[in-house]
Chain A
């Protein structure tokens, strides 16, 4: 308690330095929160694309039902199919109407006749998709095949890149934050040189001197993490309407609030670690 009081006194007596430390920490955790959200969202988008039919074959206008059934049977017999679903023209229209219920203009122009019937196929193993896709493309009744594998793979590449950029950027900012905090706490130690010398001469242990500086570092870390998290949360809240309409059909929103609180918990732990590391480095450097 005594050390906490001393730490608080240090903070109050140099508010600008405290502000700089909290600001750099907030910046770090804002970026961390932002990228954590991007990675979370990308993972969800990938999961969505993996859950929807991975190959969709659209039939030609003249395709007969018995030919479609034969092709479906042939595909099923490969033993590589997890799910196979036939969507008739009428069902396609129903889906189209559901997806565009808010846009009467789009609904007016479309009838069941212009929508093709389709076969949606999911494979047990993603590697078998190429073979299934080739089989469907080779049929004379198939007009076009949409292959989701490319979409999923592209997304996976993007997510990986995002993860790497996020980690690299957060690490650079975390290092920045550590350096700045080392300097700030170092300045404070230098300012308190006389006081530290006096308390040591009258019998203070090394830890009696160190604890307030460690608490100070933790304070900067925790306040910065909370502020950065709060700013990022505000940004998501503001951007949610836009993102919801942009990612229409993908069940990303609402993002469970527990995700943000779990993220805050992890960030606070990282912040405490960063705070302790920085103040410890300062103490080692300046309290010889």
Chain B
């Protein structure tokens, strides 16, 4: 489903973010991507949604050869991948309902159908009552749920969650992970970047560890650190 073959990304001035990454993720997997800040987790996600090009190597996501994909087809790729961004990227001047509606709006889904889908997904992540509020009026956990709802509203094949529990208390973090687990159980491939040792160790899922842009470990039922 997702295949990276000898992928490297070097930024201008020669800073390397990823070096020679070869990785295959099957459909329906739940994968933790772990590693310290600057290890290349976010770069990996950005490469998967073609927010940037790799310097070397090939990336295939489903039927898309991401490296060869024409700009015109990038929106098609992005509709297959839901992303929970590290900084959430919610539009602060729009309500939660409008934020979650956005992916459907840009795809030209009929308003009645879109409304139904948004209500369903808000209910699923547990913030239906907050639909008419602006992001600033919500707690960190609720904002995180709103970002997940937006990523899910298109029923994507893949969900990328970039440190979704980063700024949350342990309890709320656990709730978010539960939502992601539920999504994964319904068949969506979930790739979650995190620093949270407890979450990774408790779930016992596949762990891909990066350090200074290199893949240093890939374990089927891994732990945050092998000590």
Residue positions of A touching B, CB distance < 8 A: 2, 194-195, 197-199, 201-206, 208
Task: List the A residue with the shortest CB-CB distance to B81.
Answer: A203
User: Chain A residues with Cβ under 8 A from B76's Cβ?
Assistant: 203
A198 CA to B71 CA in the complex, in Å? 16
B23 at the interface (CB under 8 A from A): no
Q: Which residues of B contact A194 (CB under 8 A)?
A: 89
- B145 at interface by CB-CB < 8 Å: no
Closest 6 A/B residue pairs (Cβ): A204-B106, A203-B78, A203-B79, A202-B103, A203-B75, A198-B89
A206 to B106, CA, bound (A): 10
Q: Is the CB of B106 within 8 A of A203?
A: yes
Which of A2, A195, A198, A201 has the most CB atoms of chain B within a 10 A radius of its CB? Answer: A201
Distance to closest chain A CB from B145 (angstroms): 17
Chain B contacts for A195, CB-based, 8 A: 91
Majority secondary structure, A binding face? helix
Give me 26 A-to-B residue pairs in the complex whose CB atoms sit less than 8 angstroms apart, sorted by A's number. A2-B105, A197-B89, A198-B89, A198-B91, A198-B102, A199-B102, A199-B106, A201-B49, A201-B51, A201-B78, A201-B85, A202-B83, A202-B102, A202-B103, A202-B106, A202-B150, A203-B76, A203-B78, A203-B106, A203-B154, A204-B75, A204-B106, A205-B75, A205-B106, A206-B71, A208-B106
A202 and B91 form a contact (CB under 8 A): no
Prevailing SS type, chain B contact patch: helix
Contacts of A205 in B (CB 8 A): 72, 75, 106
Chain A residues with CB below 8 A from B106, complex form: 199, 202-205, 208
Chain A residues with CB under 8 Å of B75's CB are 203-205
User: A203 touching B71 by the CB < 8 A rule?
Assistant: no
**Is B167 part of the binding interface, using a Cβ–Cβ cutoff of 8 Å?**
no
B107 on the A face (CB < 8 A): yes
Q: Nearest CB to that of B82 among chain A residues?
A: A202
What residue of chain B has the Cβ atom nearest to residue A6's Cβ? B105
Within the assembled complex, what's the spacing in Å between the Cα atoms of A267 and B72? 35
Minimum Cβ distance to chain A for residue B89 (Å): 5
Cβ contacts under 8 Å, B103 to chain A: 202-203
CB nearest to B151 among chain A residues: A202
Interface string of B57-93 (1 = CB under 8 A from A): 0000000000000011001101100010100010100
Name the residue of chain A whose CB is nearest to the CB of B103.
A202
Q: How far is the CA of A195 from the CA of B106 in the complex (A)?
A: 12
A284, chain B: closest CB distance, angstroms: 14
A195–B92 Cα distance when bound, in Å, is 9
Q: How far is the CA of A206 from the CA of B74 in the complex (A)?
A: 10
Which residue from A2, A197, A202, A206 sits with its C-beta under 8 Å from B78?
A: A202
Kindly report which residue of chain B lies nearest to residue A208, judged by CB atoms. B106
Shortest distance from the beta carbon of A288 to any chain B beta carbon, whole Å = 11
Q: Which residues of B contact A198 (CB under 8 A)?
A: 89, 91, 102
Known: A201-B85, A202-B102, A202-B106. 16 other contacts (CB 8 A): A2-B105, A194-B89, A197-B89, A202-B103, A202-B150, A203-B78, A203-B79, A203-B103, A203-B107, A203-B154, A204-B75, A204-B106, A205-B72, A205-B75, A205-B106, A208-B106
